[in-house]
Chain A
Amino acid sequence: MSGGANMEESGREDALKALDNLESVLLKGRPGADEAISDPEVHERYEKLRDQLKEAQRSLRELSAGRLSESIGSRGYTFGLLNNLQSNLLHLTWQAKQIASGDLTQRIDFLDEFSESFNKMTAALEENRRQLEERRAELEELNRSLKDEVEERRRAEERLAMANHKLKILSSVTRHDALNQLTVLQGYLELAEPMAEDAKLRRYMERMDVAADIIAELIDFGKKYEMLGTEGERWASLSGILAAMDPGPQVHDGCAGVEVLADPLLDKVFYNLYDNTLRHSGGASRVDVSNRLDGDDLLIVWQDDGQGVPESEKERIFERGVGKNTGLGLFLIKEILEISGIGIAERGTPGEGARFEMRVPAGRWRYSD
């Protein structure tokens, strides 16, 4: 009797020990220190269960670490679930690869919340891609029309350059021939003048002479105007230009050291101003050329002591064809200055002389040593 009680007692001990160890494997991942189970059958069953539990844990660890290639070794419900999990993870990995390779048509079914968010994401990606493609098509279209436009513009520029070239040749040839004929005309006038006995005829011939001079000036203007802006810009010293003025009314140079960045025709500006004073000032005796700062601009002032310009004329004198001679002098001045960003205006007091103010913006003037 007592032997049977002992057997029962030790069987219960074995069972509790097995359960303790299995609990330890479940919760801590390893059995306790004491695995000595006396009943061989219980011991064998315990070890089998322990190893399966550890195998399931190992598989779970592999899966949770993202290692999906190893096949789930054991069978049965629990391992079946692990197998399901592995299959799903492999499938998701495949789906992700498909997306990476640009296949956005795949959808995932029956994985509950996951399917929903995954399918939403794929649909959104697909929509984005569609929009991108649309945008790209638009850009391509735009690019095409821009290219066409550039090409059209290039052709237009070519045509313009060609026309310009022809025009230049035409005007140069015409000018050359006209000057020759003019020289012939002036020569014969000179020869004819002493023969003219009739006073009226002589007066007519003088007027012809004047007209011939004006024609020569007009031709000269054409030549200069054509050159304007074609040779780039350069720094020019005002004193250098003023020193070359013909003696007439005395020019007082108050611009020592001033240099201006402008078209090479800048000297013509001052020759023409001088010519203007000479012809139209009504007897000026001196000219003062001075400079002063106005903000960042440099103001260059041409002041004579002649009759000045009436208020009503101040604007008009710069127009083409206005003036007592060819009407081109002041027009050319304005054009030459404008191309270099320099403005000019007449601001003198009528009766006290003409005063031309030229405004040179910063960067276009400097003082040399």
Chain B
Amino acid sequence: MGSEERRYEFSWDLLGDLELGRPNLGPSVGLEVYRLMQYSMRDVLEQRLGTEGADRVFFDSGKLAGMKLFENVIKGCDDLSQFVSAVQNALKELGIGIFRVERSEPDMGSFVFSVFEDADCSGLPDIDHTVCTYDEGFIAGLMEAFTGEEYDVKEVDCWCTGDRTCRFAVERV
């Protein structure tokens, strides 16, 4: 792209005025639409960039989304308790999933979070790999926005691997 001016640089305003825009249909769309978009896009990305490249794009997009959500919705949190409550609420309100903490060692920068009924994968057929790459990025983005430090997030269990819950190991880089 070089010096070309950017057309799609993310800003919260791009989400538009939800109430004004859809007076009759409201702000929600079906989960299948979300997945339709995600998995079709994933298909094309994989064809163009390979599996790893597609995953990288998904992770980075998720991370950008996590940071923007923190800046615009969750905002100031004084401590981990407030952060957890706020994330829990936001993910519930937005229908993203049921967020829970399984383990936290803030001093070590080490956490285990789980997301039940994850929008990305809950109900998908069993396959032999985890799929919530976008969520990995999303959690990494939330953590970085909250702590100011970079985090590595790995989905260790996923609905898709037959675990019925998505579990994320979160470690400070």
**Among candidates A83, A94, A103, A107, residue contacting B163 with C-beta atoms closer than 8 Å:** A83
- Asked if A107 meets B102 with Cβ closer than 8 Å, knowing A75-B126, A83-B157, the reply is no
Determine whether A117 belongs to the interface, using a CB cutoff of 8 Å to chain B. Answer: no
Q: Does the CB pair A87–B102 fall under 8 Å?
A: yes
Q: Does the CB pair A110–B126 fall under 8 Å?
A: no
**Among candidates A72, A81, A91, A110, residue contacting B114 with C-beta atoms closer than 8 Å:** A91
Complex CA gap A72/B114 in Å reads 15
Q: Does the CB pair B165–A77 fall under 8 Å?
A: no
Task: With CB as the reference atom, state the residue of chain B lying closest to A97.
Answer: B104
Chain B proximity of A73: nearest CB distance (Å): 11
**Among candidates B112, B156, B164, residue contacting A81 with C-beta atoms closer than 8 Å:** B164
A and B contact pairs by CB, cutoff 8 A, 28 listed: A72-B163, A75-B162, A76-B126, A76-B162, A79-B162, A80-B159, A80-B162, A80-B164, A84-B164, A87-B102, A87-B116, A87-B167, A88-B100, A90-B102, A90-B114, A91-B101, A91-B114, A94-B100, A94-B102, A94-B104, A98-B81, A103-B81, A105-B82, A106-B81, A106-B84, A107-B88, A109-B92, A109-B98
Over the window 24-35 of chain B, the binary record of Cβ atoms lying under 8 Å from chain A Cβ atoms (1 yes, 0 no) is 000000000000
Q: Does the CB pair A90–B85 fall under 8 Å?
A: no
Q: How many residues of B contact A (CB 8 A)?
A: 25
- CB neighbours (8 Å) of B88 from chain A are 107, 109
- Report whether over half of chain A's contact residues are helix, strand or loop; otherwise say mixed: helix
Complex CA gap A146/B82 in Å reads 39
Over the window 119-151 of chain B, the binary record of Cβ atoms lying under 8 Å from chain A Cβ atoms (1 yes, 0 no) is 000000010000000000000000000000000
Complex CA gap A77/B114 in Å reads 18
- CB neighbours (8 Å) of B100 from chain A are 87-88, 91, 94
Instruction: Report B63-116 residues with CB < 8 Å from chain A CB.
Output: 81-82, 84-85, 88, 92, 98, 100-104, 112, 114, 116
Chain A proximity of B87: nearest CB distance (Å): 12
- Asked if A75 meets B116 with Cβ closer than 8 Å, knowing A94-B103, A103-B81, A109-B92, the reply is no
